[in-house]
Amino acid sequence: MVVTRYQAVLEQWDRYGRKVRDITLECDSNRGPTVGDFIEAFRREGLDVQITDFVDMTFKPVDPASSPVISLRIVRTVPCG
């Protein structure tokens, strides 16, 4: 299976405010990243999230009380390397 790497820019809201950061995704070369690919990338970082807004690509934690993150929003995704 041939994989393509993507870099996604995130807007992360936590208890201290907002910050912009990026993550790396890997998915099949014949399609772009899906919602499942993003959820799996967040799970690798230790965040258990679910999508709450498909249009804005906003994710929120399943258990907000135990998560350091309030919400994550995908700003842009581009192929890299």
Strands 3-14 and 69-80, sheet pairing:
antiparallel
Name the residue range of residue 50's domain.
Answer: 3-80
What is the pLDDT, as a whole number, of residue 24?
93
Statement: residue 63 has pLDDT above 80? yes
Backbone angles phi, psi at 45, to 5 degrees: -90, 0
Work out the pLDDT band at 2, boundaries 50, 70, 90: confident
Helix (H) or strand (E) holding 61: strand 58-61
In the three-class reduction of DSSP (H, G, I as helix; E, B as strand; rest coil), residue 81 is classed as coil
The β-bridge partners of 24 are 7
**17: DSSP letter:** E
Model pLDDT for residues 11-53, shown as the tens digit of each residue: 999 999 999 999 999 888 788 899 999 999 999 999 999 999 9
Q: What is this structure's pTM?
A: 0.88
Statement: residue 1 has pLDDT above 80? no
**Number of domains present in the structure of the chain:** 1
